[in-house]
Amino acid sequence: MDHKRLEQGLESGNLREASLVISEASQHKDEEIVVLLIKHLRVTENKLLRNEIAIALKSH
């Protein structure tokens, strides 16, 4: 998983793109991905995006 792509997807504001990268990221067991997801879980105000991130983190 490309960490830069994940970061850009989460910061894009495009929920569709963010959901796709989160879904892809959740399939990888990488600690850096978990750190990025937790960071964005804390800072995002988008409830749908937070939900997507929480679901992805649950699978880790």
> What pLDDT is stored for residue 40 in this prediction?
93
> What pLDDT is stored for residue 3 in this prediction?
83
How many Å apart are CA 60 and CA 17, to the nearest integer? 21
What pTM did the predictor assign?
0.82
**Which two three-digit tokens encode residue 43?**
């800072």
For residue 26, the 8-state DSSP code is T
> What pLDDT is stored for residue 43 in this prediction?
94
* Ranges of the chain whose pLDDT falls below 50: none
How many Å apart are CA 52 and CA 29, to the nearest integer? 17
Contact in structure between 1 and 25 (CB atoms under 8 Å): yes
> What pLDDT is stored for residue 41 in this prediction?
93
